[in-house]
Copies of this chain bind each other. A is one copy, B any other.
Amino acid sequence: MNESDVFRALSDPTRRAVFDRLLSGGKNATELREGLEISQPAVSQHIAVLRGAGLISEERAGRHTNYSVNPDGLKPLFDWLARYRAFWPDRVERLKTLLKEMDQ
């Protein structure tokens, strides 16, 4: 919800790995756990933190729960970063990338 929650949620590498995994589409908790050498409750707790920060949303489907990236979740981060636009790297390159992407 707020900046602190988002920054804190993303400060943990395992949590970033979980979040990253959702980039390729929604997944359930078991799928999110794959490859991570961590207990089931630990994943569940990480998911709770990400949800609490507004970064992911969930949809119950039977006995599975499907988690997906909340499109607005990163907004606090973008908003905060916008004030540091002066320090954005490779502005021109980034702009080109954006333009190219938008043409598609």
Contacts and interface: CB of A to CB of B under 8 A. Distances in A.
Interface in A5-63: 7-8, 10-13, 16, 20, 23
A74 to B, nearest CB: 5
A98 B87 contact: no
**What does DSSP make chain A's interface, helix, strand, loop or mixed?**
helix
B10 A7 contact: yes
Copy number of this protein in the oligomer? 2
Contacts of A20: 83
Contact of A23 (B11, B23, B84, B101): B84
Interface of A: 3-4, 7-8, 10-13, 16, 20, 23, 69, 71-75, 77-78, 80-85, 87-89, 91-92, 94-95, 98-99, 101-102
